[in-house]
Amino acid sequence: MKKLKPWEIDRTLERIREEYDHYIVHFHQTPARKKAFEERWRLALSQGRDMTLFLGVEVQVVKELVLEAQRTLEAAPQAPLRVKKPQSYADRVIEELRKRIQGYPALGLPDHPEKSPDVDRLYGTLDWFSRQAWPHLWTLLKSKDPSPALVSLDQEIASLVSWNGQLPKELDAYVHLYQSAAPSSQIAKAQNRCLWLGSAFFHRCADLLAGSLERSPDAWSLERPKKEETELVRRTLGLVKKILDDFRLKDLKPRQE
């Protein structure tokens, strides 16, 4: 087997993580398998193992997991048309999700049977957040608790919203796939990638707000005139956590660098 170059190792690692995210979101699995992979990865690094061999095996492991989940899904018995099929756990989860996100604004992606309401409303929520909440937070945090993480988050949200009528890159690719009748597997991966990116932003935002409140107590005292500023940060933190909960994204966290 040809030895991987450093950039090839990074690319393969990201590919494996994306496959695990697809496995978690598309097949309604827990993050346990992905966490186990991350543990194996850290152990392999500490032991100085051959990354080419290690990643080659891990690519096959996650591929087999996805294939097994797909086979299980396809092998599920179909009820006769005359009989109403009992609602599965996955169906109940999806129905509950739809109800919980009904009050969030949709971005208005082009209609299509393959369009995900989850993606449409998550990015509608991101668009609303970027206009109504983020500018106030940015101004406040820049003066009270500036940090590289704040600048990075500002750049991140800019990459997730539309500019001059142009959808963000990953979302545009997703829309193109479902409008061009691409294979369902490709559409599902693009959909899950969009969900992961939106989830990653809100997780980082929650971490930033919580960390700022904990790290800079003097800046966020409850004495006037700082009380209103403190409450704004706390209310926004509560809102972000609720978004993650309502969209069932609490377990879809970004990788810790």
pLDDT of residue 82: 47
pLDDT of residue 128: 94
The rounded radius of gyration (Å) of the Cα atoms in the chain is: 21
SS3 readout for the chain = CCCCCHHHHHHHHHHHHHHHHHHHHHCCCCCHHHHHHHHHHHHHHHHCCCHHHHHHHHHHHHHHHHHHHHHHHHHCCCCCCCCCCCCCHHHHHHHHHHHHCCCCCCCCCCCCCCCCHHHHHHHHHHHHHHHHCHHHHHHHHHHHCCCHHHHHHHHHHHCCCCECCECCHHHHHHHHHHHCCCCHHHHHHHHHHHHHHHHHHHHHHHHHHHHHHHHCCCCCCCCCCHHHHHHHHHHHHHHHHHHHHHCCCCCCCCCCC
Tokens 């990865």 belong to 41
pLDDT of residue 216: 63
pLDDT digits (tens, 9 = 90+) for 2-30: 788 888 888 888 889 888 888 887 777 87
Sequence spans of domains, the chain: 6-75, 105-247
pLDDT of residue 86: 57
Whole-structure pTM value: 0.66
Residues of the chain with pLDDT under 70: 1, 76-98, 216-226, 255-257
